[in-house]
Amino acid sequence: MDAAGAEPLVRTAELRILRIEQPPGLRIEGVVDIHAHRHLHGALDVIASIEGDLQLDLSGLEFLDIGGLRMLIGFARTRKPGDHVELTGLAPHLRNVIALVGWDDTPGLRLGDHRVN
């Protein structure tokens, strides 16, 4: 259980996804690779109908493949105008990849604080 006492939305040997309430969103921990894409997609579906800004806390990620990153960027694009997805706890290399491919200008996406390694 997380600090608020809620069961994780996803719990596998490699991945744990918790719903957070303030601010609303998800905390994603562990490994997101091709085997975890369906779990990530399902967790994003759980919060997709929440209006307003959402936060995805990535500070507990050990690995995020390009398919998982693409899924997060695509999720941000689906938000209604004025609603954003903020990625927090980004590892510096992920922030660099996002900037390199131009995804930092994605409508609905905000890059929040980064993880200090």
pLDDT in tens, 57-109: 999 999 999 999 999 999 999 999 999 999 999 999 999 999 999 999 999 99
Q: What does pTM read for this prediction? A: 0.90
Query: Can you read off the two tokens belonging to residue 22?
Result: 């303030």
CATH architecture for the domain at 1-78: 2-Layer Sandwich (3.30)
Q: Are 46 and 17 in contact (CB under 8 A)?
A: no
Residue 115 has pLDDT above 60, yes or no: yes
Determine the average pLDDT of the residues in 9-18. Answer: 96
- SS3 assignment for 52-97: CCEEEEEEEEEEECHHHHHHHHHHHHCCCCCCCEEEECECHHHHHH
Where along the chain do its domains lie? 1-78
